[in-house]
């Protein structure tokens, strides 16, 4: 469950699923399934689509739920002529705590690169949000023995020119691209080895600040593999995709993370 007193973090990424009324029901059901002890052990966050953020914020505040809000994406500028985009200050006004930067689907489908991710990480930090910088290799890169090099490049690119004092505020999500939405997942020992390598990569530039960075695993997490992943020293939680759409399944994943 991680070391250095890093509190585990479980983030449910709802992706492009459900309108705001479904989001309200989903977060309410999740709250019924979790108890105070769960929140004491684990930070629990949900990442609804943009159109549901305000509704989810209202439910959480009215019912005083200890569930945190994450956004799935954002633009790096504070404001401007960027039709269709959402800025970090807008998200901050909706009580958003976390924002995902560089999810593999954004990289693959929308052309985001390490420089874009870096700009988003910096913008999130400046607005008081915690960025979840996502990295991960494809099956082709893995089979070619390129995974370690690719991941080092992604993490150094995402964190370029971030001051060491800001590093502990970061979350890193390791998502093997070949495992997302496929039902396949990294062997827990492989996931630990990769998480450890990512932490060491951060340590080379930022020293002991690396020990305070939470590293999440993302890639077909479910109640069947959550416990084994949770036991690994450098894995501090999960970025849960499809399994988070069912409150019962997501709550089970949270419960396994002790």
Q: 75, 112, 175, 185: which is the annotated catalytic residue?
A: 175
Specify whether 185 is catalytic.
no
Evaluate the CA torsion angle 136, 138, 141, 143 in order and state its sign: positive
Q: 103, 112, 137, 206: which is the annotated catalytic residue?
A: 103
CB 91 within 8 A of CB 72: no
CB 233 within 8 A of CB 5: no
> Which of the 8 DSSP states describes residue 60?
H
Planar angle of CA 222, 21, 31, nearest 5 degrees: 50
In the numeric block, the tokens 């082709």 are attached to 140
Specify whether 248 is catalytic.
no
Q: What is the CA radius of gyration of the chain?
A: 17
Catalytic residue numbers, as ranges: 103, 175
């Amino acid at each position: 469950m991680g070391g250095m007193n890093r509190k585990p973090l479980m983030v449910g990424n709802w992706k492009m699923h459900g309108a705001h009324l479904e989001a309200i029901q989903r977060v309410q059901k999740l709250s019924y399934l979790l108890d105070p002890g769960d929140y004491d052990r684990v930070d629990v966050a949900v990442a609804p689509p943009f159109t549901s953020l305000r509704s989810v914020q209202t439910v959480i505040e009215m019912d005083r739920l200890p569930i945190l809000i994450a956004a799935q994406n954002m633009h790096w500028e504070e404001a401007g002529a960027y039709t269709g985009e959402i800025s970090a200050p807008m998200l901050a006004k909706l009580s958003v705590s976390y924002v995902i930067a560089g999810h593999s689907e954004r990289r693959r489908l929308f052309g985001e690169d390490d420089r874009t991710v870096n700009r988003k990480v910096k913008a999130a930090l400046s607005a008081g949000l915690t960025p979840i910088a996502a990295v991960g290799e494809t099956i082709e890169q893995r089979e070619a023995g390129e995974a370690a090099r690719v991941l080092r490049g992604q993490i150094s690119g995402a964190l370029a020119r971030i001051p060491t004092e800001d590093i502990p505020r970061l979350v890193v999500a390791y998502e093997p691209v070949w495992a997302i939405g496929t039902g396949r997942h990294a062997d827990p020992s492989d996931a630990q080895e990769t998480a450890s390598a990512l932490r060491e990569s951060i340590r080379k530039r930022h020293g002991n600040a690396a020990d305070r960075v939470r590293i999440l695993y993302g890639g077909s997490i479910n109640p069947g593999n959550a416990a084994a992943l949770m036991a690994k020293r450098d894995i501090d939680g999960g970025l849960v995709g499809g399994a988070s759409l069912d409150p019962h399944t997501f709550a089970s994943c949270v419960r396994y993370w002790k």
